[in-house]
Structure 1
């Protein structure tokens, strides 16, 4: 049975490099850009920016689930050592929570778009700001997993294989 599984590379992955960060950067950019478009549209009354915001939120919501699928798969292959596990658990919890929150805020954005396409409420902007802050916190933990704990980096993978990290 093991013969049918793909061989893992130097990053402990069956494909050339991690996919989760690639997909998740789209989510980050789309959420941040949607918020910026809504804020600028709110103050300038340029309702066309609300349409840009809506489509960014729509595709961010779809993309966050793709990012989670790759994130869960790659987290399982990372074989995180003890020091990295708590940060990975927090990152995973926030990621799943963020997917639900993003989907709910996008649904709210859809209702706003359907009812009053040329307006956005201050309550929605507050929720979008909180979403942006949560995304920023999630970015912090993701960066920590890569830049501090080195998950899926060649030196850490080699150290794990040699039993130097537990």
Structure 2
């Protein structure tokens, strides 16, 4: 059955390059823009700012599940070593938590939007702050996995395959 799978390349992936970071950058941008436009919308009470915020939140919520799917596949192929194992586990756990927070915010936002599209409860802004904090934590951990530990980079994959790193 394993012979049916495509061969892994020099980055230990069945496709050309890592897909997770490409998709996750949409999530990062849209989630943070959501928070910024929520704050601006509350301050200015302009409906169009709330609209931008809402639709960015919807797209971020859909995109995070695509990012998680590719992230889980690519994490399984990453061959983490040393401390990168723990960081990858934290990154995965926070990623799933972030998906839950985005799902909760999107549902809540949809309900709030039906009542008054130009207002947000103060509790919503608190959860926005949690969202931004989780996004920054994810960025830090993801950067560390790539730039410090080199997961899915050619030199690290070669070192792991040759047994120089375990």
Same fold (TM over 0.5): yes
Shift of 1:35: 0.9
- The worse-fitting range, judged by mean Cα deviation, of 3-12 and 85-94 is 3-12
Residue 148 (structure 1) aligns with: 148
Whole-angstrom CA distance in 2 between matches of 1:113 and 1:161: 53
Shift of 1:134: 1.1
Task: Report runs of 4+ in structure 1 exceeding 4 Å deviation.
Answer: none
TM-score normalised over the length of structure 2: 0.97
Residue 58 (structure 1) aligns with: 58
Do the aligned partners of 2:41 and 2:118 also contact (CA within 8 Å) in 1?
Answer: no
The superposition leaves residues 88-142 of structure 1 with CA deviations (integer Å, 9 ceiling, x where unpaired) of 0110111111111110111111111111111112221121111111110111101
Whole-angstrom CA distance in 1 between matches of 2:58 and 2:83: 36
- The worse-fitting range, judged by mean Cα deviation, of 153-162 and 45-54 is 45-54
Residue 129 (structure 2) aligns with: 129
User: Alignment partner of 1:82: what SS?
Assistant: coil
For the aligned residues, what is the CA RMSD?
0.9
Shift of 1:83: 2.4
Structure 2, unaligned runs of 5 or more: none
Structure 1, unaligned runs of 5 or more: none
Residue 30 (structure 1) aligns with: 30
**Does 2:79 correspond to 1:79?**
yes
Residue 102 (structure 1) aligns with: 102
Whole-angstrom CA distance in 2 between matches of 1:43 and 1:55: 19
TM-score normalised over the length of structure 1: 0.97
Whole-angstrom CA distance in 2 between matches of 1:3 and 1:85: 28
